[in-house]
């Protein structure tokens, strides 16, 4: 039986994940879902935000559905997300963005680059090492090429004109695309940040390094009306982790106003990951129909609550499956 670890996290994670969970339960009663707690609450109680035992229960899952965790202003606290991404070697961060007349996927390298964690402070300067490896570049390029082969083409977001590390990344990605027979173009990342907003229809799969992908995908959220709408997958060779792009949103937490679409669409990505494209498409269609009928949360100009939006989606879904 497929085992899903569910981590609500905190803030609006505790509001949007129950909605996503209900959607999975509606379409796949054969999946077994179990809760795992990580984050600041656990850290305060036990001294560890994600101890060895917790990591084992995440590792044992066929997939993880994750809400969001708040980063507390505590210098002792270490990011759980970085720990999970590293321990489970979730090297590909995949962020699809679809709207009127465009359908693109940002494939971000998730383990190295400027976020490789090799950094230090000296008296009068601070340094962060930007490490790009052949292994890291090749596997993210292959992941992007596999996607691009099923779709249309590949864009390699880079700054090879300035950074040697990016010239290396570009070389490897170009070679992989050629070998895979995928049409590919290189694009400087700064210009790409503007062009993706002006001409999103020109893009399909975009592969880029860690921090560039982080910035590019948040900026691209503008295309669809905000962070509450964007799902993501973090994929490795052995593990898969699905989460909304947004964080715990403490400014709106506990008020039943958060938009659960990003969480629901993350659940749909999970279904697709298991090869269940039929239910994934039904879930996406149920969301589309709900919004089209005017049922909207506050961020989309409506007044529907998180829970009520979820119930409306389940209603549409019931008629589709």
* Mask for 188-227, x = binds ligand NAI (CB under 6 A): ---------------------------------------x
Alpha-carbon gap, residue 287 to 231, rounded angstroms: 13
* 227 touches, from Mg ion, ligand NAI, none (C-beta below 5 to 8 Å by class): ligand NAI
**Are 109 and 91 contacting, i.e. CB atoms less than 8 angstroms apart?**
yes
What is each CA distance from 315 to 283, 285, 290, in whole angstroms? 11, 12, 9
Q: Name the pairing type of β-strands 240-244 and 3-9.
A: unpaired
Tell whether residue 94 is a contact of ligand NAI (CB under 6 A).
no
Among 96, 113, 213, 228, which residue interacts with ligand NAI (rule: CB under 6 A)?
Answer: 228
Contact region with ligand NAI (CB under 6 A), list: 42-50, 67-75, 91-99, 188-196: 67-75
Contact region with ligand NAI (CB under 6 A), list: 56-64, 82-90, 248-256, 269-277: 248-256
Of 167 and 227, which has the nearer Cβ to ligand NAI? 227
Helix runs in 155-301, H state only: 164-180, 189-198, 210-220, 261-273, 277-292
Tell whether residue 68 is a contact of ligand NAI (CB under 6 A).
yes
Neighbours of 292 (CB within 10 A): 10
Alpha-carbon gap, residue 176 to 34, rounded angstroms: 39
- Torsions phi, psi for 166 (to 5 deg): -80, -30
What is each CA distance from 230 to 89, 96, 98, 109, 269, in whole angstroms? 22, 8, 9, 18, 11
- Residue (of 194, 120, 204, 128) closest to 165 by Cα position: 128
Residues numbered 290-309 forming contacts with ligand NAI, rule: CB under 6 A: 299
* Mask for 211-250, x = binds Mg ion (CB under 5 A): ---x------------------------------------
Tell whether residue 251 is a contact of ligand NAI (CB under 6 A).
yes
**In this chain, which residue has its C-beta nearest to ligand NAI?**
247
* Mask for 253-282, x = binds ligand NAI (CB under 6 A): -----xx--x--------------------
Show Cβ contacts of residue 174 under 8 Å, excluding neighbours closer than 6 positions.
156, 184, 186
Catalytic residues: 115, 159, 190, 214, 218
Alpha-carbon gap, residue 196 to 178, rounded angstroms: 24
* 214 touches, from Mg ion, ligand NAI, none (C-beta below 5 to 8 Å by class): Mg ion
Residues facing 94 on adjacent strands? 107, 233
Of 71 and 146, which has the nearer Cβ to ligand NAI? 71
Of 6 and 154, which has the nearer Cβ to ligand NAI? 6
Contact region with ligand NAI (CB under 6 A), list: 19-27, 68-76, 196-204, 287-295: 68-76
Residues of the shown chain interacting with Mg ion in the complex, contacts defined by CB under 5 A:
214
Residues of the shown chain interacting with ligand NAI in the complex, contacts defined by CB under 6 A:
12, 16, 68-71, 81, 227-228, 243, 246-252, 258-259, 262, 299
């Amino acid at each position: 039986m497929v085992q899903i670890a569910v981590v609500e996290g905190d803030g609006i994670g505790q509001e949007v994940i129950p909605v996503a969970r209900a959607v999975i339960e509606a379409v796949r009663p054969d999946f077994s879902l179990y809760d795992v707690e990580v984050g600041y609450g656990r850290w305060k109680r036990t001294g560890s935000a994600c101890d060895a035992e917790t990591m084992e229960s995440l590792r044992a899952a066929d997939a993880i559905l994750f809400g969001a965790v708040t980063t507390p202003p505590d210098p002792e606290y270490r990011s759980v997300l970085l720990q999970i991404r590293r321990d489970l070697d979730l090297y590909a961060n995949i962020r699809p963005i679809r709207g009127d007349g465009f359908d693109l996927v940002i494939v971000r390298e998730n383990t190295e680059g400027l976020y490789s964690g090799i950094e230090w402070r000296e008296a009068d300067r601070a340094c962060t090492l930007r490490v790009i490896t052949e292994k890291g570049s090749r596997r993210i390029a292959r992941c992007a090429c596999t996607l691009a082969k099923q779709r249309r083409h590949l864009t390699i977001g880079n700054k090879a004109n300035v950074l040697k590390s990016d010239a290396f990344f570009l070389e490897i990605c170009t070679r992989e695309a050629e070998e895979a027979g995928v049409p590919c173009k290189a694009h400087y990342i700064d210009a790409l940040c503007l062009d993706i907003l002006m001409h999103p229809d020109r893009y399909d799969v975009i592969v880029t390094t860690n921090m560039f992908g982080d910035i590019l995908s948040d900026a691209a959220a503008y295309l669809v009306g905000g962070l509450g709408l964007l799902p993501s997958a973090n994929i490795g060779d052995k593990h898969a982790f699905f989460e909304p792009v947004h964080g715990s949103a403490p400014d709106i937490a506990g008020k039943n106003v958060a938009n659960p679409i990003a969480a629901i669409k993350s659940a749909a990505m999970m279904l697709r990951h298991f090869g269940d494209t039929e239910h994934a498409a039904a879930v996406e269609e149920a969301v589309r129909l709900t919004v089209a009928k005017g049922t909207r949360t506050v961020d989309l100009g409506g007044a529907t609550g998180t829970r009520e939006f979820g119930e409306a989606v389940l209603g549409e879904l019931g008629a589709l499956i």
